[in-house]
Structure 1
Amino acid sequence: MEIRRLTDQDFDDNVALAEYAFLYTLSDQQKEERRKRFGDEIVWGAFEGQELCAKLALMPLEVYVHEKKLKMGGIGGVATWPEKRRKDMVTLLLRRALEEMKNQGQLLSYLHPFSVAFYRKYGWEIFTDNKNYSIPVDKLPARQNVPGRVVREVRDISVLKSVYDRVITRYNGAMTRSGNWWKNRVMSGIPYTAVYYNEIGEPEAYVLYAIEEKVWITEEMFWLNETARQGLWDFIGNHDSKLKEVRLKLPADDPLSLLLPDPMVKQEIEPYFMGRIVDAAVFVREYPFAGLGTHSRFSLKIEDRDAPWNEGTWVWSISPDGTGDLESVRTPADAENEAGNGLSVSIGLLTAMLLGYRRPSDLRRFGLLEASEATAERLDALIPARTPYLPDYF
């Protein structure tokens, strides 16, 4: 078996496998459009001789972690012909992808799982949830008639991006978006848009949406302040004669229940994307820990069979100003020096902890983090609290 990056000559085989695996058919025009871009895409395949048996796409992206930009490798399009399954081809592809991401300085990796249990085996873990609302039209927020105005069908990406870029750093793990990402990913297939402008004409909120069978479907909604948020709700409420329900997908900590006149509406927490740290030592050095004014040291045991450079025991230190460091343990005495400050965790749960999905004390209480109560509480103080959220999909 050979693992290699696909070339232009592999395009037709790549499309055939993707169409079969994901149950869609591209038109001739769509195939030619994709063919033009294929040389710029990073797709790895597992081959038996000249036959493409399995493949995955690797996307070089960038995300915010506590407002700091870090490189991330997005994995998508994982597919195997059914007769080639259960031959460890995806295992080999994922390990090769991890090596490539490490070499490219991509400190995190994301993917949307067909099966959480499957990808947990390889070190990815759920790190973000969506909070989905289904609100009957008679339970929408009361109209406030706030100042400013809402303009429909604003498709100027620079306007939408100006709002997104100011709002999204409130969350952990969200993507920075290039102009091409906005054009080809975010805006592709969006039926309607609306932007709220304040009294002096500055954009402060937007919503991307569809209306199907009297149901408003919110694809994305961001606002800079409560006046802007209410401006969008006034706009949505003005559709009441043609709607029976409004559906939204918002961050897990969204406080809409407190803002609705009657919060007894359907609310659903949906686990969404999985992530994993690619290079633990570099990630810890780049991570902005809270500066507590004193030095902290721990013995950290990481379980990571698929990225062996992370596997093992480390001395984890965090300086008074919040700068982290991981030093590989060379002798048992190094770990013993941190007696009482030891912890053991899988790479996936370390990712979930550092991205803010679960606090260390919670993981310890659930039996997912081996650590003393004092160590977990110290980590609670060192890891800044920020809600993870990813509005994108790939």
Structure 2
Amino acid sequence: MEIKRLTDQDFDANIELAEYAFLYKLSAEQKEERRTRFADEPVWGVFENGELCAKLALLPLEVYIHGQQIKMGGIAGVSTWPEKRRQGMVSRLLRRALEEMKEQGQLLSYLHPFSVAFYRKYGWELFTENKNISIPVDKLPARKNVPGRVVREVRDIDVLKSIYDRAVVRYNGAMARSGSWWKNRIMNDISYTAVYYNEAGEAEAYVLYEIENRLWITEEIFWLNETARQGLWDFIINHDSKLKEVQLKLPVDDPMPLLLSNPMVKQEIEPYFMGRIVDAAEFIKAYPFAQIGSSSRFALRIEDRDAPWNEGTWIWTVSPEGEGKLEAVKQNDESNSEGIEQLGDQEISVPIGILTSMLLGYRRPSDLQRFGLLNTSEVLAEQLDALIPTRTPYLPDYF
């Protein structure tokens, strides 16, 4: 058994496995389009006697963490031939992917799970949810007739990207999209677009959407201010004669129900993507902690069997300026051992997945401690609450 990155010679085998695993068939044109991206979206595979048995894509991406961009490895297309399943091939691939991400400086990894329980075993944990809202046409809000105008079918990526880049930093964990990502992943299959322009002609909001069977389906919506948001809503409401319902996919903190005169509409919270810290020491170093005016120091025990460079005990410090640092505690190191003894009542023990979920803002430390997912005292959990900035996780993308 051999694990290696696929080359151009493996492209057809890669497509054949993907088509079988995910039950689709690509046209010749679609295959060629994917071939052009093959070198930029690395695929790793398990080979046995020269045959591709299992594979995953490892996408080099970047995401916003409290407004700062860091590198992220996106895992996609995990698949195995049925006769090769349950032989540990995916386990080996995931561990090899973690090694590769560490080498590439990708401090985080995301994936969309077929099974949350399966990927939890390897350190990934839920970090974001979507709020799905369905509004019958008779419960749509009233028009506000705000100034400005909405233009349909704006497909200029620079215009859409300029709005997205400014709006998305309000959230934690969202992707910093490249122009090629917009072209190949976002706009590739969108039926309709609309952009709101203010009175000065500046683009301040957009919506990507479908209309099927009298349903308005919002694929993505972003705005920079309340006037821009209402401008888009006036546009949506103008479709009322041809709709029976408007469907939205929004961040969990979106206030839409408060803005409806009759908020008795269907709302669903949907767990979405999972994430995991790849390199704890480097992630803590890059993470912008809150500046609370004093330094903090903890003994941190991380459980991470699949990334052994994270596993073990660390001295975790955060400066008054919000700069974090992890120092590994080595066995038989007397200086560090003394430091750990001094931190006897300052100890935190946590699996890597829960640490990820906490630092990305999915759940607050006090909540995790109360539910038994963060092994520490109530006092220390409250200290972590103060150190970790509050920002809603949201990921509008899929891969």
Report sequence identity in percent: 76
Matching of residue 23 in structure 1 with residue 23 in structure 2: yes
Per the alignment, residue 51 of structure 2 pairs with: 51
Q: Distance in 1 between matches of 2:214 and 2:365?
A: 44
3-state DSSP of counterpart to 2:188: coil
Measured after TM superposition, the shift of residue 84 of structure 1 is 0.4
1:336 to 338, 341, 345: 341
Matching of residue 357 in structure 1 with residue 342 in structure 2: no
**Given residue 5 of structure 1, which amino acid in structure 2 is its aligned partner?**
R
Measured after TM superposition, the shift of residue 339 of structure 1 is 1.4
Measured after TM superposition, the shift of residue 40 of structure 1 is 3.2
2:376 to 368, 371, 380: 371
Q: How does 1:146-295 map to 2 (within 5 A)?
A: 146-295=146-295
**Given residue 44 of structure 2, which amino acid in structure 1 is its aligned partner?**
W
Per the alignment, residue 67 of structure 1 pairs with: 67
Question: Do 2:151 and 2:194's aligned partners in 1 also have CA atoms closer than 8 Å?
Answer: yes
Question: Do 2:41 and 2:60's aligned partners in 1 also have CA atoms closer than 8 Å?
Answer: no
Measured after TM superposition, the shift of residue 290 of structure 1 is 0.5
**Given residue 341 of structure 1, which amino acid in structure 2 is its aligned partner?**
Q
3-state DSSP of counterpart to 1:368: coil
Deviations 1:315-346 (A, max 9, x none): 10001111000001124433222111111111
Q: How does 1:92-111 map to 2 (within 5 A)?
A: 92-111=92-111
Q: Distance in 2 between matches of 1:36 and 1:153?
A: 27
Q: Distance in 2 between matches of 1:34 and 1:383?
A: 40
Runs (4+) of structure 1 moved beyond 4 Å? Answer: none
Q: May I ask how many residue pairs the two structures share in their alignment?
A: 394
**Given residue 303 of structure 1, which amino acid in structure 2 is its aligned partner?**
E
1:391 to 387, 393, 396: 396
3-state DSSP of counterpart to 1:17: helix
**Given residue 267 of structure 2, which amino acid in structure 1 is its aligned partner?**
Q
3-state DSSP of counterpart to 1:131: strand
3-state DSSP of counterpart to 2:41: coil
Pick which of 203-212 and 38-47 moved more: 38-47
3-state DSSP of counterpart to 1:14: helix
**Given residue 308 of structure 2, which amino acid in structure 1 is its aligned partner?**
P
3-state DSSP of counterpart to 2:300: strand
**Given residue 280 of structure 2, which amino acid in structure 1 is its aligned partner?**
A
**Given residue 9 of structure 1, which amino acid in structure 2 is its aligned partner?**
Q
Measured after TM superposition, the shift of residue 18 of structure 1 is 0.3
Q: Distance in 1 between matches of 2:141 and 2:288?
A: 38
3-state DSSP of counterpart to 1:219: strand
Matching of residue 88 in structure 1 with residue 93 in structure 2: no
Measured after TM superposition, the shift of residue 269 of structure 1 is 0.3
Measured after TM superposition, the shift of residue 49 of structure 1 is 1.2
Question: Scaled by the length of structure 2, what TM-score is found?
Answer: 0.98
Q: Which runs of 5+ in 2 are unaligned?
A: none
Measured after TM superposition, the shift of residue 39 of structure 1 is 3.1
**Given residue 252 of structure 2, which amino acid in structure 1 is its aligned partner?**
A
3-state DSSP of counterpart to 2:289: coil
Q: Distance in 2 between matches of 1:198 and 1:244?
A: 29
Deviations 1:67-120 (A, max 9, x none): 000000000000000110111100110000000000000000000000000000
**Given residue 373 of structure 2, which amino acid in structure 1 is its aligned partner?**
L
Per the alignment, residue 325 of structure 1 pairs with: 325
Q: Distance in 2 between matches of 1:115 and 1:196?
A: 39
Q: Distance in 2 between matches of 1:169 and 1:39?
A: 29
Q: Distance in 1 between matches of 2:140 and 2:262?
A: 8
**Given residue 138 of structure 2, which amino acid in structure 1 is its aligned partner?**
D
**Given residue 244 of structure 1, which amino acid in structure 2 is its aligned partner?**
K
Q: Distance in 1 between matches of 2:33 and 2:344?
A: 59
3-state DSSP of counterpart to 1:307: coil
Question: Do 2:127 and 2:275's aligned partners in 1 also have CA atoms closer than 8 Å?
Answer: yes
Measured after TM superposition, the shift of residue 29 of structure 1 is 2.4
Q: Distance in 1 between matches of 2:282 and 2:375?
A: 23
Measured after TM superposition, the shift of residue 36 of structure 1 is 3.4
**Given residue 185 of structure 2, which amino acid in structure 1 is its aligned partner?**
R
Question: Scaled by the length of structure 1, what TM-score is found?
Answer: 0.99
Q: Which runs of 5+ in 1 are unaligned?
A: none
**Given residue 186 of structure 2, which amino acid in structure 1 is its aligned partner?**
V
Q: Distance in 2 between matches of 1:354 and 1:242?
A: 44
Measured after TM superposition, the shift of residue 38 of structure 1 is 2.2
Deviations 1:111-167 (A, max 9, x none): 000000000000000000000000001111110000111110001111111110110
Q: CA RMSD in A?
A: 0.8
Q: Distance in 2 between matches of 1:346 and 1:129?
A: 21
